[in-house]
């Protein structure tokens, strides 16, 4: 039985918090060159962050909640992660100065 009240008041905020945390974690981690490969492109960050949030979403929920709300959780995590990834990239201004942050010629 679908419990809309539980979804909206309990589980949706958890899904959104999970997505936001994953996006920020991945962004900060990838700022360190040791944690990204030579072919890394920041233009791919949104896709990468959304995928990471999606594949780790189950960790924030009980098995019962995951079984009952998996589709809603995954949809919300992907949507929220996409929004936050775009905001992080825009707010950071990283694409404006990447890949030469020090302006070295």
Whole-number average pLDDT of the chain:
90
- Predicted confidence (pLDDT) at residue 102 exceeds the cutoff of 80: no
CB burial class (10 A; 0-12, 13-18, 19+) of residue 56? middle
Whether 104 is covered by a domain: the verdict is: no
Note the pLDDT of residue 100. 59
- Predicted confidence (pLDDT) at residue 59 exceeds the cutoff of 60: yes
Euclidean distance between CA atoms 88 and 27, whole angstroms: 8
Whether 103 is covered by a domain: the verdict is: no
pLDDT category of residue 96 using cuts at 50, 70 and 90: confident
Whether 41 is covered by a domain: the verdict is: yes
Whether 105 is covered by a domain: the verdict is: no
Supply the range of the domain harboring residue 54: 4-97
pLDDT tens string 29-46: 999 989 988 888 899 999
Euclidean distance between CA atoms 99 and 13, whole angstroms: 35
Whether 102 is covered by a domain: the verdict is: no
Whether 89 is covered by a domain: the verdict is: yes
Note the pLDDT of residue 89. 93
């Amino acid at each position: 039985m679908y419990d809309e009240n539980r979804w909206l008041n309990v589980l949706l905020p958890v899904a959104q918090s999970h997505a936001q945390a994953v996006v920020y974690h991945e962004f900060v981690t990838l700022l360190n060159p040791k944690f990204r490969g030579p072919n890394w492109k920041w233009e791919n960050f949104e896709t990468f962050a959304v995928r990471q949030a999606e594949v780790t979403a189950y960790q924030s929920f009980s098995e019962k909640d995951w079984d009952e709300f998996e589709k809603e959780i995954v949809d919300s995590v992907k949507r929220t992660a996409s929004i936050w990834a775009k905001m992080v990239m825009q707010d950071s201004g990283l694409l404006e100065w990447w890949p030469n942050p020090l302006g070295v010629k």
